[in-house]
Structure 1
């Protein structure tokens, strides 16, 4: 029985060695095929372009305290200390001039609709987001004078109008005036 066991072990070890020889032979063939002459690469030309220099802009600091102070003390600067009125929270495109009422001996008042509410306004009331105040009320339109700040902290006045609107139309006209 020992002879059979010994023969079985020798045959098993002999069978394993043949498989490894095939593996080693394949590895050598593959590595020889992989070793080839290096391919010469073409040299590509690199086009060096000059650096882009953007045009020089004025070095204006929008947070410069002197600039901000000058803007607030400008001749046309709005009064920032006055209490804001409710219609200043809306842009002119959101406001609808829907009617006018005149009483004998009194200045006319207008009705402005926004967000499902109707407000009564008169000459001098403020509305819109650009410090606009009402300068004239006519049956066809409300004339508004707005103050707009430019990039140099100068305030300029511009005329805007809110035309009388039908129930389905929406528009506001604006024109600049320095």
Structure 2
């Protein structure tokens, strides 16, 4: 093998020497032993703290007395509750059988009062939706909440709406449409 080494040029000899040194350098511990000693020292001095577990809650069994109470899935129970609700009801509800008027198709907040008209014994309010003007009188309906016109003055129209509250009861609610003046 020495004969082979003598026949090589200077650059080749240098390359072989670097290769041999690199191979030998990989055999060392490269400071790993120092890291292992530090880890052993940390494990020795730093013990983890684990909090003790709480005792579980005591289980108290529930005695079901289902034979003496009303079956929650019985259809008659629902009928009983509905009957009680109707007995406690105020009797107010909208007339669903009557024919709808044109202004009941629009929400009340889109309707504007733009004027009034006076005829013999009757007052009419002029309500505008988009660009169309509708005349209405006391007793007409307006808005989507069964609102009936109760009073018309020169500056406002009073409306009594019938709406459902959170419990499903029908209640009356007052609303007003005030005169909108153009500032053009």
Compared CA separation, residues 75 and 42, structure 1 to 2 (3 A): same
RMSD: 3.7
Calculate the TM-score normalised by the size of structure 1: 0.62
Aligned to 2:93: 77
Q: Is the 8 A contact 1:89 1:129 kept in 2?
A: yes
Which among 127, 130, 145 is matched to residue 112 of structure 1? 127
Number of equivalences: 145
2:171 maps to 1:156: yes
2:103 maps to 1:99: no
Compared CA separation, residues 90 and 20, structure 1 to 2 (3 A): farther
The offset of 1:45, in angstroms, is: 6.9
2:33 maps to 1:18: no
Higher RCO, Cα 8 Å, sep 6+: 1
Aligned equivalents of 2:35, 2:99: Cα separation in 1 = 85
Unmatched 5+ stretches in structure 2? 55-77
Unmatched 5+ stretches in structure 1? 49-64, 169-178
Calculate the TM-score normalised by the size of structure 2: 0.60
